[in-house]
Amino acid sequence: MPRTKEQFEAMRLATKNKIHSSAIKLFAKKGFAATGVQDIAESAGISTGLLYRHYKTKDDLFNELISYATLGLEHIVKRFEDDLPPNEVFKEFSLEILNDFKKDDEFANFLMIMNQAISADNPSHQVQQLKKQSEAMMKQTVILIKKGQKLGQFKNGDATEMAYYFFASIQGLSMMKLLLGEQFITPSLNIVTSALLKEDY
């Protein structure tokens, strides 16, 4: 029986997901320059030819991943702009990150790729957008912290320094997760948020 249009689309998406997962893992572990198209195809369990049917170049694949990361940052900014209690917004966001750490390595790998992209020479348009959105996320985080401080939910201190500290701790946890593997223990929500939130919140 011939496949339907929906079946072809499902197969196409499944293949792209395999390519993405393999590329994220390899780019994070080996770096963009040291990762070949054949490496990605072999890891994804597909032929190099099939990979090229989805992406003309390795750069196209990398830039699509960066675009997904940028979209994720945009969603974070919008969440932080919501008129909800700052402490609840912050805890929910932190808990999602911790759950991602518990699930698998993909989130940690993705953060490593974002760091590579932002520090690269001659950044692509997609990378420039990522930098712009990263700055927007940091600014909105500072606003969220200041809002929470006024409500007595967040600890006193320089909101910018507190935002930097929080995201630096997430980056550090990502590196430790990839380094330690199965020995890594995801910290509790209270530990991750203790430097920012007051005990009662």
Measured CA distances, 112 to 3, 38, 118, 158, 175 (Å): 39, 21, 10, 27, 8
Q: Where residue 14 falls among pLDDT bands split at 50, 70, 90?
A: confident
pTM of the model: 0.88
Beta bridge partners of 154: 197
Q: What is the pLDDT of residues 114-139, one digit of tens each?
A: 998 988 888 899 999 999 999 999 99
Using an 8 Å Cβ cutoff, are 35 and 44 in contact? no
Tokens of 93: 């966001």
Using an 8 Å Cβ cutoff, are 137 and 71 in contact? no
Measured CA distances, 46 to 9, 14, 31, 37, 53 (Å): 17, 11, 21, 11, 11
With pLDDT > 90 as the criterion, what percentage of the chain qualifies? 84
Check residue 3 and give its pLDDT: 64
Query: Residue 69's CB: how many other CB atoms inside 10 A?
Result: 21
Query: Residue 109's CB: how many other CB atoms inside 10 A?
Result: 21
Instruction: Say how far apart CA 201 and CA 91 lie, in whole Å.
Output: 9
Rounded average pLDDT over 25-46: 93
Identify the three-state secondary structure at position 185: coil
Instruction: Say how far apart CA 135 and CA 137 lie, in whole Å.
Output: 5
Check residue 4 and give its pLDDT: 75
Using an 8 Å Cβ cutoff, are 44 and 51 in contact? yes
